[in-house]
Chain A
Amino acid sequence: MSALAQVDAKPSMAWKRLRSALYFVFPLLCLVFIWEFTVRIFSVHPGVFPGVGAVLKAGAESIANGSLFLHIGASLARVLVGTILAVLVGVPLGILMGVSPGVSTILTPLFRFFSVLAGIAWIPIATLWFGYGFGAITFVIFNAVFFVVAYNTLLGVASIPPQLRNAAWSLGANRWDMLKEVLLPGALPNIVTGIRTGLGFAWRGLIAAEMIATNLGLGYMLFLARDFYRTELIVFGMIVIGILWLLIDRLVLAPLERRTIERWGLVR
């Protein structure tokens, strides 16, 4: 009895997760229901918009022949490589800007200008530089993530209380120690937030870029299906793009962000 009462008062973590997942999925299921309902009662032509069954069938097909995984693999590889490169360049630059007012003064106008351009505006010139395919698209991803990560790193470094740096100096830290022990960990929550935001932009840019500059990837999958009037494959691809992003964000990025921020009590 007392055990039961305790469960009632404090639902377990697993149950809480399941419940919030259900809350998340329920509206989406409603949408699927309305979609199928609308297609049926108005007898929508499949060339305009497909029914749920057709989309599921197209999905099963692309899974069975393996083409879906080929496209997903290509897209994810580009995102991964572009993001890693962007973090490797963006974080040091952001720290440099955060530590040196001179560097920050010179680079800030450039950042303002290029952050507007970040994304698919680079595709035409990127395809001239790298040709169609992996290079050009990875470059677009890099662009989307790089500016956000560098700027957030700058903010992170600037938000470290000056007392902490003074404390480190007076405990005998040298410049390298300062970077490793104070600036990087102090800016980490902002860096992770930057990666999360930047990847959100990058994912959108990726799909657009893949429609133009390649013959593999989720964006290309949509574009190709259009040439054959296969609306069911287009809609399936759109669903995959949405779900894949939600999975990356919910299962990788959000927990990572939460952990760095909550553990240190740096709720901002």
Chain B
Amino acid sequence: MKSLTINHLSKTYFDPYAAKHVTAVQDVSLDVPEGEFVAIVGPSGCGKTTILNMIAGFLPASGGDIIVDSRKVSGPGPDRGVVFQSHALFPWKTVLENVAFGPKMRGVGLKEREEIARDYLALAGLSHAAERYPNELSGGMQQRVGVVRALANEPAVLLMDEPFASVDAQTRMTLQEELTRIWQARRPTILFITHDVPEAVFLANRVVVLSKGRVLEEVEIDLPRPRSWDAMMDDERFKTLSARVLQLVRAA
């Protein structure tokens, strides 16, 4: 099962400035079934990035379990693909080499892994950029490649850490629409972190509102797909759901 379950996850660390232990994440339980798109929203400092870093294995958990693909995990691994806020592409590799990196680590041969990479680049309309270096691309293109690189490794779960926060508003909307399209085409299991309420509602099947390191509420998003911003702008359901989540976040 390509699913993600976290049970009673918590994180405390020692703050040397305040000279006391601080709780960043407290008893968070969450279930992302196979093929589902779940978003976590919350104000900055609510612990959402800490949760993602623990799931990715970049940060050890203080307590609780993380179960991916029916296996308890600790430390980073290819079963959990990560899309970073800053694209984190390797500047010394071409776009194609970046996307082929995961398959290469699995031991896939040159020809086959380049085929995989080209296939995924085509999915995101990036075929023309295959031979270019990351610094030659616009911010939006870099983020697209970051998403494609994580997808091409076919992880059980895709973890996305505010991946569109640093691109301009127009590009962000395009990227969001592309992501929903790719999700519908390939149905990866996605956990998406953001502080942007409309983004979370637009993308996800379920939005988890986080506050002070705890889950405040989960909201089902039963909007029809495919979703586009043109349609959503005037959609009453979208507005109602966004308002509801926004209220929760502001109360948080």
Contact = CB atoms under 8 A, between A and B. Distances in A.
Check if A and B associate: yes
B188 interface: no
Contacts, number: 71
A171 interface: yes
Given A181-B90, A181-B101, A167 B133 contact: no
A126 to B, nearest CB: 38
Interface stretch (B2-10, B72-80, B118-126, B207-215): B72-80
A265 B77 contact: no
B184 interface: no
Contact of A170 (B82, B89, B93): B82
A116 B76 CA distance: 42
A265 B81 contact: no
Nearest to B105: A172
B80 A264 contact: no
Nearest to A184: B92
Given A171-B105, A177-B105, A264 B133 contact: yes
Contacts of B80: 170
Contacts of A266: 91
Interface in B136-169: 136, 149-150, 153
Interface string B87-98: 011111100000
Chain B CB count within 10 A is highest, among A172, A188, A263, for A172
A170 B77 contact: yes
Q: Is the interface of B mostly helix, strand, loop or mixed?
A: loop
A245 interface: no
B76 A166 contact: yes
Interface residues of A, number: 22
B13 interface: no
A68 to B, nearest CB: 41
Given A167-B84, A171-B78, A171-B102, A185 B135 contact: no
Contacts of A185: 90, 92-93
Contacts of A163: 84, 86, 88
A69 interface: no
Nearest to B75: A169
B81 A161 contact: no
Contacts of A174: 105
A186 B92 CA distance: 8
B88 A167 contact: yes
B133 A263 contact: yes
Nearest to A167: B88
A265 B90 contact: no
B135 A172 contact: no
A170 B105 contact: no
Contacts of B91: 264-266
Interface in A245-266: 263-266
Interface in A187-218: 188
B250 interface: no
A172 B88 contact: no
A264 B58 CA distance: 26
Contacts of A188: 92
A66 B92 CA distance: 45
7 contacts: A164-B90, A166-B84, A169-B57, A170-B81, A171-B102, A264-B133, A265-B91
Given A166-B58, A182-B90, 19 more contacts: A163-B84, A163-B86, A166-B76, A167-B84, A170-B78, A170-B81, A170-B150, A171-B81, A171-B150, A171-B153, A172-B106, A172-B153, A181-B101, A188-B92, A263-B133, A264-B91, A264-B135, A265-B133, A265-B136
Interface of A: 161, 163-164, 166-174, 177, 181-182, 185-186, 188, 263-266
Interface of B: 56-58, 75-78, 80-82, 84, 86, 88-93, 101-102, 105-106, 133-136, 149-150, 153
